[in-house]
Structure formats: C-alpha cells, structure tokens
C-alpha cells in the first residue's frame, strides 16, 4: 500500500514538472494582446528620443565614470551607472529591429550616437583638466573585448528587455546595460585626451561589440514576446537599408568574437605548456598575459611560483607554442617546508625572546639559496653584489631574470648578480640580413648586461656569413663584415669599446648554416 502511494506521489510530481517545463518553454506572447504590445512599444520609443535631460544626464554620467576610471574606484564607476540613460535608445533600436521599422531604428540610432559623442566629450574634458592621467587597471581592462565582457552585454540586454516589456523595474536593468557601455565610452575619451589611439580604438571596439550584443539580446526577447514586422507604407528601400545596417553592426562583433576565440585558445595552450614545463614542481601560475597575432601567440608573460628553478622553462614553452613567440617567465622559488621554522615552534618560544628582523643580505640569501649556490655576497657602491651559480644548463638570460626578481624582492637595496664566465650568446640574423630588430636588441642588451657584471669594457666582434655553393664570394665576405660592423656600432652605443671587427666566411658550406647567419662577441679586457 505504501509502495503504491509512493508511486502515485512520484507520478504526480513528474506530471507537475512536465507541466511547468511546457509553460516555461511556451511563448510568452500569449500573455500580451496587441494593445499591450502597442502600449509597451510606445513607451520604449518615447524613452529612446533625444531630449535635453537625456544629454545632460549622459554627459554627467560619463564624466563621473571617467573620474572613477582615473582613480581606479569601482564605487565611483557604479555611481555613474546609476544615472546613465543609455538603456532607452538601445531598447528602441532592438524593438525597431524586431518590428522592421527603419524610421524608428534611425531615430534611436541617432539618439545613441549623439549620446555616445556627448559621453566621449565629457570624458575628454575631465581627463584634460585632471592631473591624473595614469593608465589604471580599470582603464586597461576596457581596451579590448573579452569573453566576459560579451557575456555581461548579452545578459544585460536580456534583463533590460525582459523587465521593460513586463514593466518590472526597467531602471534597474538600465544600470546593467550602462555597466557594459559607459566605462568603454569613458576610456575612449581618455585615449583621445592622452593621444593614445590604441586605447581609444580598443575601447571603441569594445563599446561597439557590446552594443551589438545587447541589440541581439533585445531583438530575441522582443520576438519571443510577439513583436513582429508591422504592415506599413513607406519607401521600398527602407527595409533593405535596415537589414544592411544590421549586417554592418555585426562586423565589430564578428571581429571581436574571432579575437576572443583566438585569445582563449592560446591562453589555454600557454597555461598547459607552462604546467608541463614545470611538471613535478607544483607550479602556481599568476599574471598570465598572452598576446596574439596572425592566429597564434606572439608574446607570453607570467609569474610562476615553483619548488625548483627550471632554467629551460621559457624554451620548453616556446617550443610547444611557436618558435617566434617571446616568452618571459619570472620564477619565484618557494622554500621547502623544512627550511621554514614551523609556526608552532615560533609560538613556543619564551615571550621575552625577540625575533631579529632579517637584513637585506639575509633575505636575499634566503631567496636565492633554494634555486642555486650563493658563492659570496659583498657590498659595492651601496649595492649587494652576489656571486651566484645556477644549476646547469643555466644561460645568461636566466641570471638576468634572477637579478630582476631579486631586485623586486629587496627594493630598498640595489642588487647585482654576477654570473659565472661563459660564452656570450651570438647575435643572430635572418638569411641575407644584417639589420637590428627587436630580437637582436634583446640579445645585445643581454650581452651588455653580462659584460657590465663581469667588469669587461673591451670586446672583439666577428661577423659571420655562409658561402655559396662554390665557396666564399665577395658578397658573402661583405655580408659578414656588415654584420660585424652593425653589432660593433650597437655595442658602442651601449658603452662597450670594440677593439677589433672581422668578417669570417668558411671555405665550404657548413652543416648548420643558421649558425653562420650571426655575429659573435668575445670579451677582451676588463675595465
């Protein structure tokens, strides 16, 4: 009896659940008649008209948003959202799209464009008179579209259309829509005022992307509630023109989606490659920044907290992603648990005992010891000079990265890491090239840093070039000499004395021709 009663209760519950699902999936258009829809449409179009109050409120709201962005104050930015009237023309444009009303769409679009121009003007004025012109994190966060920004815009459009059509507090939804639109407009003004076209262009693209996303959401909700094209009289070109305008508006959204997909894919690949490079070291990745271009990653920067220093980490990541990618990984080696006094032992000490704070040298030793051997530390010219050895195979770039991390760890004292003597990296060029580009400048900066740390002031430079099929040609010797002269001139600009420049071409083609598309630097004399 109890089993039958339980079964009947479960069946009744399932019937009720299916009924609720059908009601949820059923079109809500049946809840409105034509008069209701007409009245709501009139209210939405009234809210999309250009008025003095609209212009004043929008000018003020964007001025407040600009001040919030300059101060990196979220509270001030939210205050600007509360008074922004951007929802009106956005809803009117979405409804006009659903009903294929070109004139209403044009009127609302003009209102939105004028409002956007007033907002940018307000931001420009605020930035010009403000002493604060630094690029804050809040500004940087709105210089390119991201997947999260797109989701915020879509949800804002859905909420705004739903609450307005159902007359359930459209002002609250307006705050959500303004959140997706007002900060980008303020950043556009910041970019114009500070003559930063990259910032202004990125923020404008974000604004356009969010506008199209919100319009799409409003269009979908309006159609769901029964708003359909209306019978009307007018010029035959108006409807095709409206459809063409809708297609053009989708262009920034398509570009942004392509960029978002590429960035998301490369970020996942980069994170996976970094985790594999530090396999077994329990890495913690923070501050991962991936720049993309030409369909792949072009630059990667991050900070990795690891148990052990991995000298070849950047090369391992570059090998998995792209040979041309610039990979910068700052490694912070966490001390082993045994190297740290347990909290219980510290707490058990007598109350009268005083813990002597560590000085800069002691803290520096504590930081460097887990990842290498601190041979000696001495003070020269108010700087801590550390004779330091990393596990093989450590490169000069690894020692320079350690010095940068140590300097951040002890900002009150200058730090100089002395790497052990080793061959300087060659300055490589492309086939048939001798021009100094970004890669060559980075290598030359590294060479100058190493020479300065070793106290070497004079070097010799040997330019290299591979020969032709029948042996060295005059053009090959000229290329070798040109590479040597180019590197020598760059070193002189960095304060290095070049005692000799020679060009070398082998008598026959080497097995590794790439190694001969370079210039070598050899230390000569100490300062």
Domain 28-229: CATH class, spelled out: mainly alpha
Contact 214, 176 (CB under 8 A): no
Q: Tell me the pLDDT tens digit for each residue of 218-233.
A: 888 888 887 777 655 5
Topology given in CATH for the domain delimited by 357-422: Alpha-Beta Plaits (3.30.70)
74-82 long-range contacts (CB < 8 A, ≥24 apart) are 74/138, 77/138, 77/182, 77/183, 80/178, 80/182, 80/186, 81/175, 81/178, 81/179, 81/182, 82/175
Question: What residue spans define the domains of the chain?
Answer: 28-229, 262-334, 357-422, 427-526
CATH number of 427-526: 3.30.1330.60
Q: In what order do the strands lie in the sheet with 296-306?
A: 284-293, 296-306, 326-333
Cα torsion angle, 361, 363, 368, 370, sign: positive
Could you tell me which residues come within 8 angstroms of residue 39 by beta carbon, excluding any fewer than 6 positions away? none
Q: Examine domains 262-334 and 357-422 and report if their fold is the same.
A: yes
What's the CATH architecture for 262-334? 2-Layer Sandwich (3.30)
Tens digit of each residue's pLDDT, the chain (527 residues): 445 555 566 667 676 766 665 554 455 555 566 777 788 888 888 877 888 888 888 888 888 888 888 887 878 887 777 777 778 888 888 888 888 888 888 888 899 999 899 989 989 998 898 887 777 778 877 877 777 777 888 888 888 788 878 777 655 556 566 667 888 888 999 999 988 888 888 888 888 888 888 888 888 888 888 777 765 555 555 556 666 766 776 776 677 777 777 888 888 888 898 888 888 877 888 778 888 877 678 888 888 888 777 878 888 888 888 878 888 888 877 644 443 333 333 333 343 334 445 677 777 777 777 777 888 888 887 788 888 888 877 888 888 888 888 887 777 788 888 888 888 999 999 888 888 888 889 899 999 999 998 888 899 999 998 888 778 888 888 998 999 999 999 999 988 999 899 999 888 888 787 888 899 999 986 55
Q: Quick one: tokens of 260?
A: 């978002």
Q: How high is the pLDDT of residue 352?
A: 39
Q: Tell me the pLDDT tens digit for each residue of 267-279.
A: 888 889 888 888 8
Closest CA to 186 of 348, 61, 54: 61
Indicate the angle between helix axes 34-47 and 102-129, nearest 10 degrees. Answer: 30
């Amino acid at each position: 009896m109890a089993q039958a009663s339980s079964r009947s209760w479960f069946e009744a519950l399932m019937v009720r659940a299916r009924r609720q699902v059908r009601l949820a999936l059923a079109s809500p258009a049946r809840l409105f008649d034509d008069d209701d829809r007409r009245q709501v449409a009139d209210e939405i179009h009234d809210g999309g008209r250009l008025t003095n109050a609209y212009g004043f409120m929008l000018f003020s709201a964007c001025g407040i948003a600009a001040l919030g962005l300059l101060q990196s104050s979220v509270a001030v930015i939210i205050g600007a959202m509360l008074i922004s009237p951007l929802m009106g023309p956005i809803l009117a444009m979405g409804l006009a799209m659903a009903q294929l009303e070109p004139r209403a769409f044009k009127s609302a679009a003009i209102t939105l464009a004028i409002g956007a121009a007033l907002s940018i003007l307000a931001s420009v004025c605020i930035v010009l008179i403000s002493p604060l012109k630094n690029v804050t994190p809040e500004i940087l966060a709105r210089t390119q579209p991201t997947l999260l920004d797109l989701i915020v815009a879509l949800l804002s459009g859905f909420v705004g259309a739903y609450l307005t059509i159902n007359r359930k507090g459209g002002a609250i939804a307006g705050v959500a829509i303004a959140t997706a639109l007002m900060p980008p407009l303020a950043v556009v003004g910041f970019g114009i005022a500070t003559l930063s076209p990259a910032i202004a262009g990125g923020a404008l693209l974000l604004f356009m992307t969010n506008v199209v996303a919100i319009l799409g959401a409003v269009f979908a909700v309006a159609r769901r509630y029964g708003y359909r094209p209306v019978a009307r009289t007018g010029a035959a070109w108006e409807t095709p023109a409206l459809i063409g305008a809708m297609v053009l508006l989708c262009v920034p959204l398509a570009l942004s989606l392509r960029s978002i997909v590429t960035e998301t894919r490369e970020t996942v690949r980069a994170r996976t490659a970094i985790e594999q490079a530090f396999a077994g070291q329990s890495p913690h990745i923070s501050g991962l920044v991936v720049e993309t271009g030409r369909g792949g990653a072009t630059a990667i920067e991050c900070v990795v907290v690891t148990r052990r220093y991995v000298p070849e980490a950047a090369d391992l990541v570059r090998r998995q992603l792209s040979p041309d990618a610039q990979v910068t990984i700052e490694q912070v080696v966490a001390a082993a648990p045994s190297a740290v006094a347990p909290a219980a032992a510290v707490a058990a000490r007598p109350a009268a005992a005083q813990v002597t704070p560590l000085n800069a040298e002691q803290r520096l030793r504590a930081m460097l010891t887990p990842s290498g051997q601190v041979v000696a530390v001495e003070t020269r010219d108010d700087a801590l000079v550390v004779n330091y050895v990393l596990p093989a195979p450590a490169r000069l770039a690894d020692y320079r990265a350690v010095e940068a991390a140590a300097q951040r760890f002890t900002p009150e004292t200058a730090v100089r890491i002395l790497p052990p003597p080793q061959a300087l990296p060659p300055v490589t060029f492309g086939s048939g090239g001798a021009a100094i580009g970004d890669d060559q400048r980075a290598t030359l900066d590294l060479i100058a840093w190493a020479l300065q740390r070793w106290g070497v002031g004079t070097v010799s430079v040997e330019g290299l070039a591979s020969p032709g099929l029948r042996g060295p040609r005059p053009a090959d010797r000229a290329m070798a000499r040109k590479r040597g002269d180019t590197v020598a001139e760059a070193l002189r600009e960095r304060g290095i004395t070049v005692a000799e420049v020679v060009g070398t071409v082998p008598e026959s083609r080497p097995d590794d021709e790439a190694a001969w598309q370079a210039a070598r630097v050899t230390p000569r004399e100490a300062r």
